[in-house]
Amino acid sequence: METTRQQKIARLLQKELGDIFLQYARRIQGTIITVTGVTVSPDLSIARIRLSIFPADKVAPVMGQVEAETKTFRYELGKRVRHQLRIIPELFFYNDDSLDYLENIDNLLKSDPIIHPEDHDYGMDEYKD
């Protein structure tokens, strides 16, 4: 269970990283990067950041670039939150594919009509009088 302090720091990091990635995504044409969540360790030394990247076919190259520039993001974050935090946490980035998962479920629900049990006779018509 996260403490109130962890939650506050996670919200602060999510907001600031969201602004940083907004500027970063402008350099990568046709890509939208959203910070969907941040989880901070109890000692506040590690931050796990979930990123949603659109379009889905650019996830692998963008995640590679983000991981290669992790130190730059941490430095930029440090400049923004240096008055609120004593220690800037180590950043670990993860792809958040929950939106793709939801889209897939939505497409599946739209594609096939739902067959209700009362609509199917289960081969019982031959036994009716």
Specify the CATH number for the domain of residue 63.
3.30.300.20
List, in sequence order, every residue forming a beta bridge with 35; answer none if it has no partner: 51
Model pLDDT, residue 54: 85
Over the stretch 69-82, which tens digit does the pLDDT of each residue have? 999 999 999 999 99
Domain count, the chain: 1
Does this model's pTM top 0.75? My answer is yes
31 within some domain? yes
- Does 20 have pLDDT greater than 90? yes
113 within some domain? no
78 within some domain? yes
112 within some domain? no
Residue 121: burial class (beta carbons within 10 Å; 0-12, 13-18, 19+)? exposed
117 within some domain? no
- What's the domain range around 32? 4-97
Instruction: For the beta carbon of residue 13, count every other beta carbon within 10 angstroms.
Output: 24
CA distance 13 to 108: 35
51 within some domain? yes
